[in-house]
Structure 1
Amino acid sequence: MARAGLTTERLVRAGAELADEAGFEQVTLSALARRFDVRVASLYSHLRNSQDLKTKIALLALEELADRAADALAGRAGKDALNAFANVYRDYAREHPGRYAAARHPLDAGAASASAGGRHAQMTRAILRGYDLSGPDQTHAVRLLGSVFHGYVSLEMAGGFSHSTPDSQESWTRILEALDAVLREWPST
């Protein structure tokens, strides 16, 4: 019988909190069991193993990010939408570093199809339609945006910009301006 009060959702949320506090790589069933002061065996009626927990945290993070992005994009287009979308990712990574790392966790085909990843792709492509990009150019632009957002956020979170000037916010603003310019003047094939 499952220990009273333990549910899959409660365990996944606690795992996400643990990821934010200690790092996503530190999330294990043992660490989660210590948090609830139970034996690891008590968790098996809710989670198969640590990989299952990490997958569920990744799905939670993708859903949270998609919800935030959808709210931020409502009524926006063009550069305003691009900036809002980028800032959602950066702010989420700053607020929830472990969950942000989880959102990059590889998912098997079944989990990926059940994830909010499709919502992220739809929102990104909707932004790009405001730049009159379609087909393969949209795919290239999606990859460009993902690379820039994730690369910048990862370097910033690792302290890569903390001891230099101008400050990272000024660089972020200039990078978003440059991305807007690139998207408006996308090279033809």
Structure 2
Amino acid sequence: MTRAPLTSASVIAEAAALADESGLEAVTLSAVARRLGVRTPSLYSHVRDHAALLDGVSAVALADLTARVAEAVAGRSGLPALEGLAEAHRAFARQSPGRWQALQRRAGPTVVASDAARSIVALTDAVLRGYDIPPGERVHVTRLLGSTINGYLALERIGSFDHSEPDPDVSWRRSVVALDTLLRAWPTE
């Protein structure tokens, strides 16, 4: 059987699959090389180093998340758009846990400057246009949304909500509605 030639995309795709299966901490150059059936030095023609490999996983994850958010918020505004944004993040975190972890690390400059990064910012801004929030305040709101959504998902991921009632879905819904209430009353200064 002939093995497909290695490319940067195939190496990163394998790293992303490993991250989802075993966690981002399992993604090493040697682990990816073993999965691809090659020696570790073979990967250096396709990824510069471990940081570049992780940035590649982050870039793939960001592109995946952006596509989900775009679909979830299309044609919606206000609470329905906010729910779409939040649910897209939550579904992504549940279905692609290693890729989600890759978005919880400091990304390199190529990821930050990527089309997907610009798109997710634009999509978030589109959701915020459904509220009466001045453009100069949107960075604060974006930070609050990211902190709330990712904080909840991080706690849910490690099982922090498994030991008490009500079901975490109830708290999640209440959190999104509370964010909507806050956004509708956002102070202008």
| TM-score bucket (shorter structure) | over 0.9
Match of 2:185 in 1: 185
> In 1, distance between residues paired with 2:82 and 2:141?
12
Deviations 1:108-146 (A, max 9, x none): 334311251221111111111111112332111111111
> In 2, distance between residues paired with 1:6 and 1:188?
52
Partners of 1:11 and 1:32 within 8 A in 2: yes
> In 1, distance between residues paired with 2:134 and 2:123?
14
> In 1, distance between residues paired with 2:65 and 2:177?
23
Offset, 1:96 = 0.8
Match of 2:7 in 1: 7
Deviations 1:9-29 (A, max 9, x none): 111111001011111122011
Match of 2:169 in 1: 169
> Which ranges in structure 1 are unaligned for 5 or more consecutive residues?
none
Match status 1:140 vs 2:143: no
Offset, 1:183 = 0.8
Deviations 1:61-106 (A, max 9, x none): 0011001111111111110000000000011001111100112232
> In 1, distance between residues paired with 2:128 and 2:4?
48
Matched AA of 2:97: P
Aligned counterparts, 1:1-189, within 5 A: 4-189=4-189
Matched AA of 2:77: A
Offset, 1:5 = 2.4
Matched AA of 2:32: L
Q: Which moved more, 1:58-67 or 1:137-146?
A: 137-146
Distance of aligned partners of 1:110 and 1:163 in 2 relative to their CA distance in 1, 3 Å threshold: same
Offset, 1:4 = 4.7
Q: Which moved more, 1:113-122 or 1:56-65?
A: 113-122
* Pairwise CA RMSD: 1.4
Structure 1-normalised TM-score?
0.94
Partners of 1:59 and 1:115 within 8 A in 2: no
Partners of 1:55 and 1:105 within 8 A in 2: no
Matched AA of 2:74: A
Partners of 2:79 and 2:180 within 8 A in 1: yes
Partners of 2:24 and 2:101 within 8 A in 1: yes
Partners of 1:93 and 1:153 within 8 A in 2: yes
Among the aligned pairs, what percent are the same residue?
Answer: 44
> In 2, distance between residues paired with 1:107 and 1:164?
34
**Runs of 4+ off more than 6 Å:** none
